[in-house]
Structure formats: structure tokens, C-alpha cells
């Protein structure tokens, strides 16, 4: 079996999260996840099964027709639903042995949620961490779960389901992260977003409020822009243009 080594800041937590993700994927037709093979805490790395013939969705979407793009959105929504559901069965804190961190304000003004409906978030559910094939939108590979608080915004391990959904939506918008910029015509974005959220809701038999996802999306984009424009980082005009375009579409 071909493998590769991934270095990460908290390899042990990443390894555990990969294990959980791989187990969940064994029960799904919609997605798979690489099997974690070994853990080297001293070297700060984990060894993972290599999945061949797949490419990041960030590379597939720009060349995909609308039918394929919608198919991918649907598969990704369903996959995330199945992932969240299977992770809900687990006492996550015990498995990961990590503290929760509360996020500032990101879920303000959303509809109420019961404690039991919180999920273990993937944590970095963006276009680059979902792999697939252009001629088969019915299956994806999910990689790179983030066990540590997310770079731009500290988020809890047990969190609202809207967080991963909004992260994906903000990537669809092409702003967060800016470099994954799909060339899809803007008018397709609403459909991709709707397909994603509907498929998620169907997979889990839950009702997700599209407006709530959108509110979290806007906050993630703002947090990302804030992080991107921190003083020690050079902010290019190209990125600024994309951010401003996003703001004007949503103001
Ligand atoms: N197990 C895997 N099988 C196939 N390709 C992979 C696998 N893991 C990573 N990749 C490829 O490497 C890229 C980066 O991997 P990732 O783990 O997301 O690292 P990072 O985001 O930290 O750079 C992915 O977008 C994908 O193209
Ligand atoms: Mg990644």
C-alpha cells in the first residue's frame, strides 16, 4: 500500500481524528477517507494511506459543468452529514482528550440549538480537503481534519453543524481561502449552496436554516479577511479585490 507522511502541529490528535473519519467512511457510499497507518509523535507526523486518481475539488470545480458541480455539492453535503452523524455517536472529548474552546460571536443571532445536536466539526472543510474525480461526482475523499482550533478563528471541537457547512460555502464564494477561487459563474453559487445544505439535511434528517449558514459564512469570511490583513502579512490587490467583490454581493 502506498502511503505518505503528513506533518502536523498536533499529530496525535490528527491521527485520532483521521481514525474516526476513516471508520465513518467505511459505512458510506458517498465518501471515503485515507486509513491512518502510523503515528510518530517525536517527528510530528502521521503516515496515511495514499488515495490515487483523485484531485482536490478546488481543481475540479473550475473545469466542471454545472451538472457535475451540483452533483459534487450534493455528495459533499451528504458526506458531511454522515460524518457528523457518526461522530455524534462518540464521546469526542474522551477520544481526542482535548479541551473545547469557545468561539467569539460566530454563532450570535442564530436559531437556538440543543447541546445534544452539536457535532464534532471537521474543522477545515474546504475545497482543498475534499478530493474527487471529474467523471464521478457521486463519491469524494475527505482528508485533513483539523484537530486544533482553526488558524483564523478559534472554534470549539464540539460545535454547531453550521460551521463546516459555512466553511465550505465560504470557499465556494472564492474568498476563504482566497486561493481556491472557482471560475464558476456567480449565478451558480446559490444552487451549489442550496444543494449542499439540502443534501446535508437529508442525510441527517435535520432541518438546517440556510440563513443561519449564510450568517456564519459572512463571519468566517470577515475573520479570514482580518487574519489575512494582519500587519505582518502582505495583502495583495488581487485578494483585496475578491474580498471587496464578496462584500458588495452580500451587502
Ligand atoms: N491520503 C491522500 N491521498 C491522496 N492525496 C492526498 C492525500 N492526502 C493529501 N493529499 C493531497 O495533498 C494535498 C494536501 O494535503 P493536506 O493533508 O490537505 O495538507 P495541507 O492542507 O496541510 O497542505 C491535498 O489537497 C491532496 O491533493
Ligand atoms: Mg489540506
pLDDT one-digit tens code per residue, 11-36: 988 898 899 899 999 999 999 999 99
∠70-76-81 over CA atoms, to 5°? 130
Q: Evaluate whether residue 112 is within a structural domain.
A: yes
Q: Evaluate whether residue 20 is within a structural domain.
A: no
Structure confidence at residue 239 (pLDDT): 66
Q: Whose CA is nearest to atom 20 of ligand 1?
A: 144
Q: How far is the CA of 55 from the centre of ligand 2 (A)?
A: 12
Structure confidence at residue 186 (pLDDT): 56
Cell of 49: 494511506
Atom of ligand 1 nearest to the CA of 4: 1
Query: H-helix or E-strand containing 142?
Result: strand 136-142
Structure confidence at residue 91 (pLDDT): 63
Domain count, the chain: 1
Q: Evaluate whether residue 212 is within a structural domain.
A: yes
Q: Evaluate whether residue 86 is within a structural domain.
A: yes
pLDDT in tens, 43-78: 999 999 999 999 999 889 878 888 999 999 999 999
Q: Evaluate whether residue 128 is within a structural domain.
A: yes
Structure confidence at residue 165 (pLDDT): 96
Structural domain harbouring 74: 53-250
pTM score > 0.85 for this model?
yes
Phi/psi for 215 (5° steps) reads -60, -40
Ligand 2 ion: residues within 5 Å (CB):
128-129, 144
Q: Evaluate whether residue 122 is within a structural domain.
A: yes
Residues of the chain with pLDDT under 50: 99-101, 176-180
Q: Which of 143, 148, 150, 171 to mutate to test the pocket of ligand 1 (most atoms within 8 A of CB)?
A: 143
Q: Evaluate whether residue 21 is within a structural domain.
A: no
Q: Evaluate whether residue 27 is within a structural domain.
A: no
Instruction: Identify whether the C-beta of residue 188 lies closer than 8 Å to the C-beta of residue 64.
Output: no
Q: How far is the CA of 56 from the centre of ligand 2 (A)?
A: 9
Q: What lines the ligand 1 site, CB under 6 Å?
A: 6, 34, 48-51, 56, 128-129, 131, 143-144
Q: Which of 2, 51, 123, 131 to mutate to test the pocket of ligand 1 (most atoms within 8 A of CB)?
A: 131
Structure confidence at residue 141 (pLDDT): 98
Q: Is 70 helix (H, G, I), strand (E, B) or coil?
A: helix
Q: Whose CA is nearest to atom 9 of ligand 1?
A: 143
Structure confidence at residue 68 (pLDDT): 92
Give the C-alpha distances (Å, rounded to integers) separating 232 from 175, 226, 235.
Answer: 20, 12, 9
Distance CA 55, CA 19 (A): 22
> What is the domain-level CATH number for residue 201?
3.90.1200
Which alpha helices (DSSP H) does 52-209 contain, by range? 57-60, 66-88, 92-96, 162-172, 186-204
Structure confidence at residue 99 (pLDDT): 46
Amino acid at each position: 500500500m502506498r502511503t505518505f507522511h503528513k506533518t502536523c502541529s498536533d499529530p496525535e490528535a490528527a491521527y485520532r481524528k483521521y481514525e474516526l473519519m476513516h471508520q465513518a467512511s467505511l459505512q458510506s457510499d458517498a465518501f471515503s477517507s485515507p486509513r491512518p497507518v502510523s503515528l510518530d509523535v517525536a517527528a510530528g507526523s502521521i503516515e496515511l494511506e495514499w488515495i490515487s486518481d483523485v484531485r482536490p475539488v478546488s481543481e475540479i470545480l473550475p473545469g466542471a459543468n454545472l451538472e457535475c458541480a451540483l452533483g459534487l455539492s450534493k455528495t459533499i453535503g451528504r458526506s458531511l452529514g454522515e460524518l457528523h452523524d457518526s461522530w455524534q455517536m462518540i464521546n469526542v472529548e474522551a477520544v481526542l482528550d482535548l479541551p473545547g474552546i469557545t468561539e467569539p460571536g460566530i454563532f450570535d443571532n442564530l436559531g437556538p440549538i440543543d447541546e445534544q445536536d452539536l457535532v464534532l466539526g471537521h474543522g477545515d472543510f474546504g475545497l482543498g480537503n475534499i478530493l474527487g474525480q471529474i467523471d464521478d461526482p457521486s463519491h469524494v475523499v475527505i482528508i485533513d481534519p483539523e484537530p486544533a482550533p482553526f488558524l483564523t478563528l478559534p472554534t470549539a471541537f464540539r460545535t454547531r453543524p453550521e460551521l463546516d457547512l459555512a466553511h465550505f460555502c465560504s470557499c465556494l464564494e472564492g474568498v476563504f481561502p482566497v486561493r481556491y477561487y472557482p471560475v464558476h459563474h456567480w449565478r451558480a453559487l446559490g444552487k451549489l449552496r442550496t444543494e449542499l445544505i439540502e443534501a446535508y439535511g437529508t442525510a441527517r434528517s435535520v432541518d438546517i436554516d440556510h440563513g443561519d449558514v449564510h450568517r456564519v459564512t459572512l463571519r468566517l469570511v470577515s475573520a479570514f479577511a482580518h487574519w489575512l490583513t494582519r500587519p505582518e502579512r502582505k495583502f495583495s490587490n488581487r485578494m483585496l479585490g475578491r474580498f471587496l467583490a464578496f462584500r458588495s454581493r452580500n451587502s
